[in-house]
């Protein structure tokens, strides 16, 4: 009997170099029971997703789960358009290589009584089709078993493997795979990156990994790594999931998922170099029909390359749900290489067009930058690897000014202030006059604060009356403007009883009153934060308060409050009482400032940094962990005030447990560069849109400065 069938296999030319290294293998035992990190994308999984074809002793991954049956009610919801089904695997730890060799065995079975028709089965590597089988079934040919070997050029650290099948005109078909082996053709010794033609170490040793982001596999540990999502239409109630899970349990994380009009960016600091290579994995979810869509990639605001997607061709699902009946998802490894010298790089990418009402979403992960560095003796820059190729062109170089809160565990807040602000509930009377603060209101860690927006000016002044009530023991009284102490006074422990003292406290004749005037405070910022406090211990029973407050602008009175004889709660805005507290909270094995019952919806975190050398830019980086007992569908808004600069970030909350435990905890990292010239920095952080019993914490702060402009 002659067996007749049509079977097309696309195989690329093998690399000339025959050396190979096994990266991983799957489904190699006679009867395996584990999918080994592979994930089925199927309408209905049968059991473990592993089965043996009729009259076979070997197991196949996906068999009887990757199936189509025109007579089954399971497929009624899909009508005449049968879904693409298959099995996928993402591997994130390839050794340095220039090509891949893949071998596997595939079994396709038509279980109809009168088998006929055909189906298509394809293998995609990083979204690129590498293999296709189109069997023609008949009564003599019900099954096809094929051993396949193929190779391809490949350099990325990660690989996305996808088997996908679709029924054409057959009635009942299933498929499975086994004996899957992935080999890499390694780079020459000590090379982190190489091309297919590189055979010697000298041809590729110059490449070094400069930065790597968005590589975490563990869903609970995945974070934005300092990337910023710029929404075309910012909405705090827009829920953006980073999960790619579809019907599978893959839970592969991407930064995103963004709408067509959104963009992402990341500022990266590099060492002096003359060549740059960028690699990352990009995905489009639920692609919609269009002639083509391009993503532009920018370096420092200039388009450097574009990434195209053929959205007029149907593709298999990766993250889309099968029942959504989308046109599929598109995925690819993006690579870019060019001569490059700038050490301050802002990478950004966005779609070339924003399709109104489009449901297409997109994201990236596994972002790497490799560079060829200058010779060690090159002080500034270069145009090649040799010492003779050094140049004197200066590029930005950031110098650390302060690093703190970066040990795994710490017990010192390093002068970061956690402030919880709340309104006064009552106004005290002292000597028949209203008093902001007063007995039992301002003690220990409590102080008062007000914030004012100001017109252009060069200096401000402050004056007010202060009442010191009951017994003090030479504690210090402070007036602080934008984090800087502008007035300090030692409250005497011995009081002259002959003076006319108001009686406000619980002890007679030991209260004090004085007028404080600070005529000139150099100041140019558009907003001022005024803080008045003492260093009383928590156990202190003495208290204090103020009234008759005046703020001058360039010597002219501008703001007056607390002046009425008996002012009320309605007259004290914007003054608030604050509780100063800097608790240490433990997340897993790491310490954080703030945390549960410390940094909440009414809290602020702030610190002043002094004596920064002459500079043009600053770089700020830090980490935040949010804590919630229940999930939410809206985003938090992180407000960051750095002197007069204001930065806003939206924090997307998911069901992650970064710290372990029962609460939902989510890690966010921030890293950005700002233009800045002042010799001091006042940083104020707070989160808006928080509810009760939602908290946040802070660590890993770094501040550096640069005195060179980016070359245009």
pLDDT band, very low/low/confident/very high, at 86 (cuts 50, 70, 90)? very high
Percent of the chain past pLDDT 70, that is, above it, reads 92
DSSP summary character for residue 138: B
Q: Residue 499 class from Cβ within 10 Å (0-12 exposed, 13-18 middle, 19+ buried)? A: exposed
Residue 235 has a pLDDT of 64
What is the chain's length?
712
The top-scoring range by mean pLDDT among 12-26, 108-122, 256-270, 333-347 is 333-347
Residue 437 has a pLDDT of 84
Residue 149 has a pLDDT of 96
Q: What are phi and psi of 605, to 5 degrees?
A: -125, 130
CATH number of 404-416+582-706: 2.60.120
Of the listed ranges 191-195, 358-362, 423-427, the least confidently predicted one is 423-427
Quickly count helices (H) and strands (E) in the chain.
0, 49
Q: Please report which helix (H) or strand (E) contains residue 172, including its range.
A: strand 172-186
- Across the range 102-109, mean pLDDT stands at 96
pLDDT exceeds cutoff 60 at 646: yes
What's 206-395's CATH class?
A: mainly beta
Residue 304: partners with Cβ closer than 8 Å, 6 or more residues away: 297, 298, 336, 338
Residue 3 has a pLDDT of 33
pLDDT exceeds cutoff 50 at 11: no
Of the listed ranges 340-349, 536-545, 643-652, the least confidently predicted one is 536-545
pLDDT band, very low/low/confident/very high, at 697 (cuts 50, 70, 90)? very high
Which pair of structure tokens corresponds to residue 654?
A: 């998911």
Q: Are the beta carbons of 682 and 483 closer than 8 angstroms?
A: yes
Task: Write down the mean pLDDT value for the chain.
Answer: 87
**Euclidean distance between CA atoms 42 and 575, whole angstroms:** 61
Q: Please report which helix (H) or strand (E) contains residue 200, including its range.
A: none
Which pair of structure tokens corresponds to residue 357?
A: 């009402």
- Across the range 111-138, mean pLDDT stands at 89
Residue 158: partners with Cβ closer than 8 Å, 6 or more residues away: 90, 91, 92, 93, 94, 215, 281, 333, 366
pLDDT exceeds cutoff 80 at 6: no
Residue 65: partners with Cβ closer than 8 Å, 6 or more residues away: 40, 42, 44, 45, 46, 47, 49, 51, 174
Residue 258 has a pLDDT of 81
**Euclidean distance between CA atoms 37 and 249, whole angstroms:** 9
Q: Are the beta carbons of 555 and 459 closer than 8 angstroms?
A: yes
pLDDT exceeds cutoff 50 at 678: yes
pLDDT band, very low/low/confident/very high, at 580 (cuts 50, 70, 90)? confident
**Euclidean distance between CA atoms 547 and 436, whole angstroms:** 6
pLDDT tens column, 457-472: 999 999 999 988 888 8
The top-scoring range by mean pLDDT among 246-255, 347-356, 549-558 is 549-558
pLDDT exceeds cutoff 50 at 7: no
CATH number of 419-579: 2.60.120
Of the listed ranges 26-40, 511-525, 558-572, 657-671, the least confidently predicted one is 558-572
Residue 309 has a pLDDT of 80
- Across the range 487-501, mean pLDDT stands at 80
CA atoms within 13 A on the CB side of 7: 15
pLDDT exceeds cutoff 70 at 306: yes
User: Which residue has better confidence, 498 or 413?
Assistant: 413
- Across the range 141-145, mean pLDDT stands at 89
Instruction: Quickly count: other Cβ atoms within 10 Å of residue 249's Cβ.
Output: 9
User: Which residue has better confidence, 635 or 458?
Assistant: 458
pLDDT tens column, 262-288: 899 999 999 999 999 999 999 888 877
pLDDT exceeds cutoff 80 at 359: no
Q: Do domains 404-416+582-706 and 419-579 have the same CATH topology?
A: yes
pLDDT exceeds cutoff 70 at 456: yes
Of the listed ranges 10-14, 62-66, 86-90, 485-489, the least confidently predicted one is 10-14
Residue 381: name the closest of 400, 370, 399, 397 by CA. 397
**Euclidean distance between CA atoms 459 and 100, whole angstroms:** 67
User: Which residue has better confidence, 237 or 350?
Assistant: 350
Residue 481 has a pLDDT of 93
Q: Residue 460 class from Cβ within 10 Å (0-12 exposed, 13-18 middle, 19+ buried)? A: buried
CATH number of 21-186: 2.60.120
User: Which residue has better confidence, 489 or 434?
Assistant: 489
Secondary-structure breakdown of the chain: helix, strand, coil percentages, each rounded to the nearest 5: 5, 50, 50
Residue 24 has a pLDDT of 97
The top-scoring range by mean pLDDT among 111-115, 183-187, 413-417 is 183-187
pLDDT tens column, 584-608: 999 999 999 999 878 998 899 999 9
- Across the range 409-434, mean pLDDT stands at 83
So where are the chain's domains? 21-186, 206-395, 404-416+582-706, 419-579
Q: Look at the pTM and tell me if it is higher than 0.85.
A: no
């Amino acid at each position: 009997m002659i067996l007749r069938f049509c079977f097309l296999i696309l195989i690329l030319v093998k690399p000339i170099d025959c050396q190979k290294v096994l990266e991983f293998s799957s489904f190699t035992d006679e009867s395996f029971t584990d999918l080994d990190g592979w994930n089925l994308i199927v309408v209905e999984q049968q059991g473990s997703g592993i089965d043996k074809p009729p009259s076979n002793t070997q197991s196949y991954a996906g068999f009887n789960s990757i199936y189509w049956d025109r007579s089954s009610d399971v497929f009624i919801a899909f009508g005449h358009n049968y879904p693409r089904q298959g099995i996928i695997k993402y591997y994130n730890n390839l050794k340095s290589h220039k090509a891949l060799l893949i071998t596997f065995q595939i079994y396709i079975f038509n279980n109809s009584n009168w088998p006929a028709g055909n189906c298509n089965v394809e293998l995609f590597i990083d979204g690129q089709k590498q293999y296709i089988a189109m069997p023609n079934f008949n009564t003599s040919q019900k099954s096809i078993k094929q051993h396949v070997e193929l190779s391809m050029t490949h350099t990325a650290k990660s690989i996305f493997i996808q088997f996908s099948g679709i029924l054409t005109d057959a009635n009942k078909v299933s498929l499975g795979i086994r004996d899957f082996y992935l080999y890499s053709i390694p780079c020459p010794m000590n090379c982190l990156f190489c091309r297919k033609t590189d055979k010697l170490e000298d041809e590729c040793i110059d490449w070094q990994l400069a930065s790597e982001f968005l590589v975490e596999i563990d869903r609970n540990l995945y974070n934005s790594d300092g990337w910023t999502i710029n929404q075309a239409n910012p909405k705090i109630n827009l829920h953006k999931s980073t999960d790619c899970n579809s019907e599978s349990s893959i839970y592969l994380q991407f930064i995103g998922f963004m709408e067509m009009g959104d963009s992402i960016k990341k500022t990266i600091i590099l060492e002096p170099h003359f060549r740059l290579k960028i690699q990352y994995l990009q995905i489009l979810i639920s692609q919609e029909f269009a002639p083509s869509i391009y993503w532009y990639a920018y370096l420092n605001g200039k388009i450097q390359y574009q990434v195209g997607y053929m959205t007029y061709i149907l593709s298999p699902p990766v993250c889309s749900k099968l029942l959504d009946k989308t046109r599929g998802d598109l995925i690819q490894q993006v690579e870019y290489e060019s001569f490059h010298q700038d050490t301050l790089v802002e990478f950004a990418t966005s779609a070339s067009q924003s399709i109104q009402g489009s449901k297409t979403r997109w994201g990236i992960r596994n972002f790497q930058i490799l560079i060829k560095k200058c010779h060690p003796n090159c002080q500034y820059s270069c145009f090649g690897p040799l010492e003779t190729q050094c140049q004197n062109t200066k590029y930005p170089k950031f110098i650390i000014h302060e690093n703190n809160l970066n040990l795994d565990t710490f017990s010192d807040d390093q002068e970061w202030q956690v402030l919880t602000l709340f309104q006064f509930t009552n106004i005290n009377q002292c000597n028949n006059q209203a008093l902001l603060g007063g007995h039992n209101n301002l003690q220990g860690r409590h102080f008062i604060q007000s914030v004012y927006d100001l017109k252009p000016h060069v200096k401000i002044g402050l004056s007010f009356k202060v009442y010191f009530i009951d017994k003090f023991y030479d504690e210090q009284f402070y007036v602080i403007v934008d984090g800087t102490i502008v007035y300090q006074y030692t409250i005497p422990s011995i009081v002259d009883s002959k003076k006319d003292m108001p009686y406000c406290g619980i002890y007679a004749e030991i209260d004090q009153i004085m007028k404080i005037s600070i005529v000139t405070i150099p100041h140019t910022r558009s907003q001022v934060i005024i803080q008045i406090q003492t260093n009383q211990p928590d156990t202190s029973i003495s208290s204090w308060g103020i009234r008759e407050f005046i703020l001058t602008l360039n010597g002219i009175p501008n703001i007056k409050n607390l002046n009425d004889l008996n002012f009320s709660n309605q007259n004290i805005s914007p003054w608030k009482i604050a509780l100063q507290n800097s608790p240490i909270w433990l997340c897993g094995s790491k310490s954080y400032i703030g945390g549960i019952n410390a940094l909440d919806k009414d809290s602020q975190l702030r610190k002043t940094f002094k004596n920064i050398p002459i500079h043009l830019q600053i770089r700020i980086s830090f980490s935040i962990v949010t804590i919630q007992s229940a999930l939410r569908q809206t985003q938090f808004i992180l407000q960051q005030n750095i002197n007069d600069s204001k930065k806003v970030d939206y924090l997307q909350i998911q069901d992650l447990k970064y710290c372990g435990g029962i609460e939902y905890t989510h890690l966010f990292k921030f890293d950005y560069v700002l233009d800045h010239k002042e010799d001091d920095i006042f940083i104020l952080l707070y989160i808006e849109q928080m509810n009760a019993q939602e908290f946040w914490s802070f660590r890993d702060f770094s501040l550096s400065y640069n005195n060179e402009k980016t070359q245009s």
